[in-house]
Amino acid sequence: MPPFTLRPFRRADRDQLTDLVNAHAQAVVPGLGASVSTVLSSLERQPGEFIEDPWVSERVTLVAERQKRVVAAAHLLRHFPDERAGVSARDLGEIDWLIFWPEAPAGNPYWSDGTQAADALIGACIDQLDQWGVTRQCAGGELPVHGVYGVPEQWPHVRALYQRAGFEHTGQTEIVYLAPIGDLPVGAAPPIAGLCLQRSIGINGTRLSAVLEDEGPIGYIEVEVFDDGERAPRNLGWADMGNLRILPQYQRRGVATWLVGQAADWLRLAQVGMVLDYAILDDPDPDGGDDPAYRAFLPTVGFRELTTTKRGWCRMTEASG
């Protein structure tokens, strides 16, 4: 097997790195990927993470190259150890993502898989985290593609690599859902007399509120159309839908389904073709976000389960233990 080289990322790697990113992304989300410029930009900053991105003090990108082919790559983050970072990320060192080609054509002596190189690469990543002297070491798969984060079930090679290196899943498990816009409800008459729709700016994109006469908002949903450089075949637009909230006394009265239909109509006007949503499967905190009712609701309005992903992989070190 030809030898490999571990080294820092170079701009000349950009096309091969983007191919590697998109191969992993499209095993999770059909047809969605990132442009070369989006991948390059994400190595320098993550403007969409306007809260956590300023907490990062240092970024390092490493690749493993074999016969001039990038077979593995990793992106590392170091967070400030003081009040410049939030408590949850303070003095945290993180493998933001590590991906590699897990297979090669049988009998082809010129094209080998990247497993051996990835084992060496994660060792180099851990050496970098140790050099930083961070008190916590974590890992994930936060690629610059919507719906791709944590370690999705479609990446058993990455999960096994993390486990071999001593990382354990200590966080929560989430489900990513997908719906073609044509599978979602269409706007219908309000299920409650006097109910109307109002649009405003929400936490994540546009908020569509169900407003009842003489009472005010009784629920809302938010939608965000992606316009940050991702590419999708067939010119289909993509969006997130979520943050669905209904006051308890108005639940199970059709308001949630009505809001999803109103949101879908709004996205149709924006020429969106595919919609993502998310739900927490479990949470170590009993007061956390696990919501079986929401998971049961999503398939009834047209969403299908796309992947299950595990967030929060951590490794014990002398500094942390």
pLDDT on residue 222: 97
Residues 19-39: tens digit of each pLDDT: 999 999 999 999 889 999 999
Structure confidence at residue 47 (pLDDT) = 74
Tens of pLDDT along the chain (321 residues) come to 668 899 999 999 999 999 999 999 999 999 889 999 999 999 999 877 888 999 999 999 999 999 899 999 999 999 999 999 999 999 999 999 999 999 887 777 777 789 999 999 999 999 999 999 999 999 999 999 999 999 999 999 999 999 999 999 999 999 999 999 999 999 889 999 999 999 999 998 999 999 998 889 999 999 999 876 545 444 469 999 999 999 999 999 999 999 999 999 999 999 999 999 999 987 645 444 558 889 999 999 999 999 999 999 999 886 665
Domain architecture of the chain: domains with CATH: 5-165 (3.40.630.30), 178-307 (3.40.630.30)
How many angstroms separate the CA atoms of 64 and 21, rounded? 14
Q: Give per-residue pLDDT as tens, 218-262.
A: 999 999 998 765 454 444 699 999 999 999 999 999 999 999 999
Q: What is the pLDDT of residue 320?
A: 62
Kind of pairing, strands 136-139 and 304-310? Answer: unpaired
pLDDT of residue 104: 80
Q: Give the 3-state DSSP-derived string for 258-283, with helices as H, strands as E and coil as C.
A: HHHHHHHHHHHHCCEEEEEEEEEEEC
**What is the pLDDT at residue 55?**
94
Per-residue DSSP letter, 291: -
Which backbone phi and psi does 233 adopt, to 5 degrees?
Answer: -60, 160
Nearest of 125, 160, 149 to residue 306 by alpha carbon: 149
Burial tier of 51 (Cβ tally within 10 Å: 0-12, 13-18, 19+): exposed
Q: Sheet harboring 195-201: ordered strands across?
A: 151-152, 304-310, 173-180, 272-282, 237-246, 216-225, 206-212, 195-201
Alpha helices by DSSP H, the chain: 14-26, 36-44, 115-132, 156-164, 255-269, 292-300
pLDDT of the residue at 107 = 72
pLDDT at 235: 46
pTM: 0.91
Q: E-strand spans in the chain?
A: 5-8, 33-34, 56-66, 69-79, 92-100, 136-139, 151-152, 167-169, 173-180, 195-201, 206-212, 216-225, 230-231, 237-246, 272-282, 304-310, 313-315
Whole-number pLDDT of residue 290: 57
- The pLDDT tens digits for 196-210 are 999 999 998 999 999
